[in-house]
Amino acid sequence: MRRKANEQRARVVAALDQLRHQIGLALGAARNARLAAELELAKLELEQLVVRAGIDRAGEDPRVAERAADPAMAGVLSWLDTVRRQFYAEWADGPNRLRELVAAGAPGPAGRPPSEWLGRVGTSRGVTAPELWRIGEASVDGASAGRTPGVELTFDVAVPLLDESHLSITSAPRTRPAIDALVESLLLRVLSTFEPGAVKVHLWDIGQLTTVLPNFYALSRTSALTVHDPTRLVDLLDELAGHIRRIHAHILQAGYPSLRAMRRATGKRVEPWRIAVLYGNGESLLPEQLRELKRIASGALAAGISLILVDVPTTLGGAVETISLVDERRAVSSMTGTDIVVRLDPPLPPGQVGTAAARIAEALVAKQGGPRSFDDLLPTELGREHSARELRAPVGFSEGEPVELVIGDATPHALIGGPSGSGKTNFLYALLGSLAARYSPDELALYVLDFKEGVSFAGLAPGRKDESWLPHARLVGVNVNTDREFGLALLRFLADELRRRSAAAKEHEVTHLAELREQDPEGHWPRIVAVIDEFQYLFAGRDAVTALATSLLEDIARRGRSQGIHLILASQDVAGIEAFWGKPAVFEQCTLRIAMPKARRVLADTNQAAVAAPRWHAVINHESGIAHGNQLAHIPDASAKGVFAGLQRRLWERYASSHGQPRLFDGAHAPVLTESPAFRELTPVARPKALLGQSIDVADIARGVELSGAPGRHVAVIGTAPREALSILDSAARSLARQFPPGRVDFVLSCLVDTCVPAVTELADWLAAEGHKAEVVSGADLPDRVGVLAEELPTAGRRRMLMLWGVDAVLPALERKAPGQQSGLDHLRTLLKQGPTNGLHVLGWWRGVARLKDTLGFAGTDDIGAWAALDVQGNDLSPFCAGQVVHWSPRPGRALFFDRSTHSSPEVIIPYHRPEPDDD
Ligand SMILES: Nc1ncnc2c1ncn2[C@@H]1O[C@H](COP(=O)(O)OP(=O)(O)OP(=O)(O)O)[C@@H](O)[C@H]1O
């Protein structure tokens, strides 16, 4: 037991000895390390003292002398001496090397003397840019370069710009002219390096009392130089921010980190450089302006935008070099450090600057080719593009470059606004021409509707003077101003087409037009573009048409995109469309916005681009009107005589044989019965139909009343308008005549309105010429004739049409009654009640609802199964319409038609135009 305890103790003591030994070693090492560190610190402190005092004067410093006496410090002085010798050995060549550096980094106008380039137009395409731009020169004494003291060593000073760095310039008293000269020569070096158009300069001066950089005046007439309103810095900042956002989106989409990288990779300059020169007054900008400026500065360089700030105190993000003026000729710059004074280059001779600016401006205008024409919008070969994915066509030019409009997934529908005369119609022509020239009618179908008076788009359909038509056009509606129903019909048609396309897509298990076209290559699936000019007319009343138009439009706007159905809505005043604003969905779907000069509400509220847009230009914006999407384009004149027509003829010659003429709906011209296909195609049939007029529809459809044996198969025309009443009864008679073999129908005609007698006589002659019996009965004989017709009713065995013009005029005579006998009116009522089953139908004109009711008596309105109302108020018509509320504001040349057997509610029709002797 004891032995065991001893052994244990010995082990503990041994372990403690070992620990003590280890600690001793560690302490020793730490002591050594500390000594080494202290030595190092002492050497560094000595080095610092020597450097502070200067190596030549260090010996005079007692602190240096004291420390240097320590033998451990012996190496310090000699090491510093070696470093100095090595440094000067390199720097001895410093000024030369700086000169070479500037020469390489600032070639040509960027660094060479003005005599070599001033006044010459730049030629660089701008794929790469000089890294440095000369501003002056500086000198150092030979002594500081290890050379002979007293000898000046001069070198060039240049600053980076464009993709490289921003520049911040600070003035000293009375140095504004020197700063202007500095900025002017920097800008001119840049402008003279590149081909015209590669650089755009923006000038803003907070205290602009006179013109900024007046020698650049010639350039300010071109897009190369924009002078901004001193009170509207925000506009310039917005514009720059917009460019940055747009360019970043573009380059990132293409997979590049910066515009410079993209240029290098593609070998193409896709965007100009932009230099914004901001002259401040040394005071801080407003906080929100400063914030925006900083934000811009940090993203600008990658987008090829650089800032030159003069007396705008701020710290910018991104690379910034500074120049601070010391006096009129001298400055210090962050490029050279504060010890070196830069002698700024002398100002360029003002006259020569003016001449150089004028030359660049001239070259730019020449390059842009002046105003472009409609023909410049057209491709070299017609109809080569495919519309499966989108429609894309140039509509105008910006500095000679085409500006394209894209109708596709991101921009399915367009909204065009601009006051009267601002060029909307012209724009539409430019667009339609450019599209039609690129896409064949199998790729693109056009439906064009113009609500305003005039015939602006009538030329797309064949006319008297020009037989050609635009083969892409399927429907052209002009003078639709009062026929809002026609707009509705177009929307209904498009909604139906939408459903048809959706069903086909479902069947092929796809969702998108492009896929449908792939899956169904034999199908006919062109993109449909429906243009509605002055579309606000659709919403002109607080009525059912507006309500329906709004919901249809919303449906098409929402779903049209995937099915290739696109709306282009143009209006003088988008701001005033109340119903439309109530449905922002439509507005939001119109992501493509086109603002003609002075257009209101088309672009975003804060986007003022349309206000400043010059004549014959348009702001094209594919970003729902947000400022950064603005593209200002000059729109060529497409509406001058023969311009569009020339293209149309070419297209017509090419496609007309395979693509028939569009349907033309002209609200100002009623169709002529004898010219209408519905009349021409009539042949004898068992159930004849009396044609009353044409429906207001996308298809050319005649409306009529089938005169079968069912009760109530008569037609009443109600209202006082003689022209329309005559027309309706006339077309009814003539169309009925055509549906019977000659002699198989008898007409009994009685005209009780004097002024209509010649027309009725003429009709009777025409019916007779067709081989039918046409008996004209005078007003005096009518009561008896009606009596005979009633008596013969069950036995006649013939089809008969009793046609009466102005029944109300003969009512007193009809009402006369001999004692114990039935009156003429009783007989007429019998005919109305029992006629149809016995082959007799009454087609009569009553000049008022009350007189029609009088005629019908207590029997009610059932015996009038179909009617056409003219100048009669809707309320009065409800008894004839199963009691429903009837909306109808009478208008010339239109009738409200209701046939109980086919209609659920009345519809507007256009009575045929009945040629009259006084027609020209
Ligand atoms: N880009 C253009 N170049 C030359 N002339 C043009 C241009 N655009 C329009 N015009 C002319 O200006 C006039 C008015 O143009 P347009 O009819 O297109 O305007 P609008 O906005 O449709 O006006 P409104 O609504 O009154 O019809 C026309 O005579 C047209 O020829």
Question: Which of 451, 537, 639, 641 should be mutated for ligand 1, with most atoms under 8 A from CB?
Answer: 639
Show the CA angle centred on residue 389, arms to residues 387 and 393, nearest 5°. Answer: 55
pLDDT of residue 576: 63
Looking at residue 210, its pLDDT comes to: 66
On the question of pLDDT at 94 being above 80, the answer is no
411 annotated ligand binder = no
Q: What is the mean pLDDT of residues 438-447?
A: 96
User: Distance from the CA of 421 to the center of ligand 1, in angstroms?
Assistant: 5
Closest CA to 154 of 113, 105, 99, 110: 99
Q: Does domain 94-360 have CATH number 3.40.50.300?
A: yes
Ligand 1 atom nearest to 617, measured from its CA: 1
Provide the pLDDT for residue 724.
93
> Residue whose CA is closest, atom 24 of ligand 1?
420
ipTM of the complex: 0.98
> Does residue 394 register a pLDDT over 80?
yes
Across 666-682, average pLDDT? 89
Q: Which amino acid is at 304?
A: G
pLDDT the model gives residue 429: 96
Is 108 known as a binding-site position? no
> What is the CA(637)–ligand 1 centre distance, in A?
8
- Averaged pLDDT for residues 687-713: 91
Averaged pLDDT for residues 222-233: 87
Percent of the chain with pLDDT strictly greater than 70: 96
pTM, two decimals, is 0.68
**Which residue among 420, 425, 632 is best mutated to probe the pocket of ligand 1, counting the most ligand atoms within 8 A of its Cβ?**
425
285: alpha, beta or left, given left = phi > 0 and alpha = psi -120 to 50? Answer: beta
Report the nearest-CA residue for atom 3 of ligand 1.
Answer: 637
568 CA → ligand 1 middle, Å: 17
890 CA from centroid of ligand 1 (Å): 33
**What is the predicted pLDDT for the residue at 536?**
86
Angle ∠(839,840,841) on CA atoms, nearest 5: 125
Instruction: State pLDDT tens for residues 641-650.
Output: 999 999 999 9
**673-866+904-911 adopts what CATH topology?**
Rossmann fold (3.40.50)
Mean pLDDT of 430-435: 97
Q: Point out the ligand 1 atom lying closest to the alpha carbon of residue 426.
A: 18
**Helix pair 807-815, 782-792: axis angle to 10 deg:** 80
In the β-sheet with 166-170, what is the strand arrangement from edge to edge?
A: 152-160, 132-141, 337-344, 330-333, 320-325, 166-170, 305-310, 273-279, 199-205, 225-227
Indicate if the pLDDT at residue 1 is higher than 60: no
Residue 240 C-alpha to ligand 1 middle, in angstroms? 31
Mean pLDDT on 510-520: 89
Residue 16: strand, helix, or coil = helix
Mean pLDDT (whole number) for 308-331: 90
Per DSSP, the chain holds a count of helices (H) and strands (E) of 26, 31
Of 107-121, 582-596, 865-879, give the range with the top mean pLDDT: 107-121
Out of 52-61, 403-412, 907-916, which region has the weakest mean confidence (pLDDT)?
Answer: 52-61
- pLDDT confidence band for 152 (50 / 70 / 90): confident
Which residue's CA is minimally distant from atom 9 of ligand 1? 423
pLDDT on residue 801: 94
Q: In terms of Cα–Cα distance, which of 727, 718, 729 is closest to 864?
A: 718
Is 586 a residue whose pLDDT tops 70?
yes
Which residues, judged by CB distance below 6 Å to any ligand atom, belong to the binding site of ligand 1? Answer: 418, 420-426, 572, 616, 635-637, 639
Q: Which atom of ligand 1 is nearest to the CA of 430?
A: 1
The whole-number average pLDDT for the span 793-819 is 86
Q: Which long-range contacts (CB under 8 A, 24 or more apart) does 823-826 make?
A: 823/783, 824/782, 824/783, 824/784, 824/786, 824/787, 825/855, 825/857
Q: Is 878 annotated as a binding residue?
A: no
Residues pairing with 773 in the sheet: 746
Q: Establish whether 94 is an annotated binding residue.
A: no
**SS3 call for 869:** strand
Is it the case that residue 209 has pLDDT exceeding 80? Answer: no
The percentage of the chain sitting over the pLDDT mark of 90, rounded to a whole number, equals: 48
Q: How far is CA 806 from CA 535, 560, 740, 760, in A?
A: 40, 50, 26, 12
The DSSP secondary structure of 468-487, one letter per residue, reads: ---TTEEEEEES-TT-HHHH
C-alpha of residue 367 to centroid of ligand 1, in Å: 27
645 C-alpha to ligand 1 centroid (Å): 16
Ligand 1 center from residue 556 Cα (angstroms): 29
- Architecture per CATH, domain 375-666, reads as 3-Layer(aba) Sandwich (3.40)
Separation CA 329–CA 135 (nearest Å): 11
Is a pLDDT exceeding 70 seen at residue 145?
no
- First and final C-alpha spacing in the chain: 147
Would you place residue 566 in the very low, low, confident or very high pLDDT band (cuts 50, 70, 90)? very high
pLDDT given at position 840: 92
Atom of ligand 1 minimally distant from the CA of 534: 25
Whether residue 620 contacts residue 395, with contact meaning beta carbons closer than 8 Å, is answered with yes
Cα–ligand 1 centroid distance for 635 (angstroms): 10
| Local structure of 320: helix, strand or coil | strand
Beta bridge partners of 571: 417
* Cα distance between residue 217 and residue 276, in whole Å: 16
Amino acid at 892: P
Residues of the chain with CATH 3.40.50.300: 94-360, 375-666, 673-866+904-911
- Calculate the CA dihedral of residues 140, 143, 144, 145 and round it to 10 degrees: 90
DSSP 124: B
Q: Is 468 annotated as a binding residue?
A: no
Q: Is 420 annotated as a binding residue?
A: yes
Name the helix (H) or strand (E) containing 805. strand 799-805
Q: How far is the CA of 474 from the centre of ligand 1 (A)?
A: 24
DSSP 3-state of 137: strand
Lowest pLDDT segment from 194-203, 495-504, 526-535, 880-889: 880-889
Q: What is the DSSP letter of 146?
A: T
Distance (Å, whole) CA 177 – CA 446: 61
- pLDDT tens for each residue of 607-621: 888 988 888 999 999
How many residues are listed for the chain in this entry? 920
Q: Can you name the residues that pair with 634 across neighbouring β-strands? A: 397, 617
Kindly write down the DSSP assignment for every residue of 573-633, as one continuous string: -GGG-HHHHT-HHHHHH--EEEE-TT--SSS-TT--HHHHPPTTEEEEESSTT-GGGEEEE
Q: What is the pLDDT of residues 835-864, one digit of tens each?
A: 899 999 999 999 989 888 888 887 778 888
Can you tell me the distance from the alpha carbon of 4 to that of 274, in angstroms, rounded to the nearest whole number? Answer: 93
Mutate to test the pocket of ligand 1, among 398, 422, 426, 594 (most ligand atoms within 8 A of CB): 426
Q: How confident is the model at residue 91 (pLDDT cuts 50, 70, 90)?
A: low
Residue carrying structure tokens 């450097």: 51
The residue nearest atom 31 of ligand 1, judged by CA position, is 639
Ligand 1 atom index nearest CA of 428: 18
* Ligand 1 atom 26: residue of nearest CA: 420
Position in ligand 1 atom list of the atom nearest CA 616: 1
Read off the pLDDT of each residue in 406-423 and give the average, rounded to a whole number. 92
How far, in Å, CA of 197 to CA of 862, rounded? 79
Q: Is the pLDDT of residue 371 over 70?
A: no
What SS3 state is found at 344? strand
Look at ligand 1, atom 14, and give the residue with the nearest C-alpha.
421
Comparing CA positions, the residue from 595, 409, 405 lying closest to residue 512 is: 409
Q: What is the distance between the alpha carbons of residues 486 and 789, in angstroms, rounded to a whole number? A: 42
Q: Which residue lies with its CA nearest to atom 4 of ligand 1?
A: 637
Residue minimizing CA distance to atom 10 of ligand 1 = 423
Structural tokens at position 294: 């900083």
HEC assignment per residue over 629-697: HEEEEECCCCCCCCHHHHHHHHHHHHHCCCCCCCEEEECCCCCEHHHCHHHHCCCCCCCCEEEEEEECC
The CA 182 to ligand 1 mean position distance, Å, reads 46
679, 691 Cβ separation under 8 angstroms: yes
**What pLDDT digit, counting tens, does each position of 99-132 carry?**
888 889 999 999 999 999 999 999 999 999 999 9
The CA angle 787-792-797, to the nearest 5 degrees, is 145
CA nearest to 640, candidates 385, 403, 903, 375: 375
The token duo for 25 is 């070693």
Q: What confidence score (pLDDT) does residue 67 get?
A: 81
Answer whether 413's CB lies under 8 Å from 558's CB: no
Place of tokens 């309500």: 547
Per-residue pLDDT at 452 = 82
Which atom of ligand 1 lies at the shortest distance from residue 454's CA?
A: 27
Model pLDDT for residues 747-759, shown as the tens digit of each residue: 999 999 999 999 9
CA–CA distance, 380 with 397 (Å, rounded to integer):
17
Q: How far apart are CA 753 and CA 804, in angstroms?
A: 10
- 400: CA distance to ligand 1 center in Å? 21
Structure tokens at 592: 């493509």
Q: How confident is the model at residue 383 (pLDDT cuts 50, 70, 90)?
A: very high
Q: What is the per-residue pLDDT across 487-504, written as a single tens digit (0 to 9) for each? A: 888 999 999 999 999 999
Q: What pLDDT does 649 receive?
A: 95
Confidence band of 6 (pLDDT split at 50, 70, 90): confident
Taking only the tens place, the pLDDT of each residue in 789-800 is 888 888 877 899
Find all residues with CB under 8 Å of 510, minimum gap 6, and list them: 516, 518, 519
Q: Report CA(426)–ligand 1 centroid distance (Å).
A: 5
Question: Whose Cα sits closest to atom 25 in ligand 1?
Answer: 420
56 or 206: which carries more pLDDT confidence?
Answer: 206
**Are the CB atoms for 663 and 676 separated by under 8 Å?**
no
> Is the pLDDT reported for residue 920 higher than 70?
no
The pLDDT mean for the chain works out to 88
- Asked if residue 424 belongs to a known ligand binding site, the reply is yes
Q: Two tokens at 159?
A: 């600053």
* Separation CA 665–CA 485 (nearest Å): 12
CA 613 to ligand 1 centroid distance, Å: 15
Q: Which atom of ligand 1 is nearest to the CA of 636?
A: 1
The reply to whether 433 sits in an annotated binding site is: no
pLDDT band at 577 (very low <50, low <70, confident <90, very high): low
Nearest Cα residue to atom 15 of ligand 1 = 423
848 contacts 720 by C-beta, under 8 angstroms: yes
446-490 pLDDT, tens digit per residue, is 999 998 877 688 899 988 788 999 999 999 988 887 888 888 889
The residue nearest atom 8 of ligand 1, judged by CA position, is 423
Amino acid at 358: A
